Structure 1
């Protein structure tokens, strides 16, 4: 990890993007249903 700072930065960026996308999908249930129909249908 110390020898590859770029890999750490990329990992952090991916994690941040996933967090933001997850929040957006939670806020917009219709989009969440579009991207994850199974989760919505099995309630």
Structure 2
């Protein structure tokens, strides 16, 4: 039981970290696009 629980916790943790990474990448891309637009204007 304890091993299964640990695996579940680890799965949730990895999913959360992946989500956070995706969000950070999106924000980074948005910031870059905004900076490029500012340079063009």
> Number of aligned pairs?
29
- Corresponding position of 1:25: 35
State the structure with bigger RCO (CA 8 A, min sep 6), 1 or 2: 1
Greater C-alpha radius of gyration = 2
Gaps of 5+ in 1: 31-43
The answer to which structure has the higher helix fraction is: 2
1:20-43 superposed Cα distances (whole Å, 9 cap, x missing partner): 00000000018xxxxxxxxxxxxx
Aligned alpha-carbon RMSD (Å): 1.9
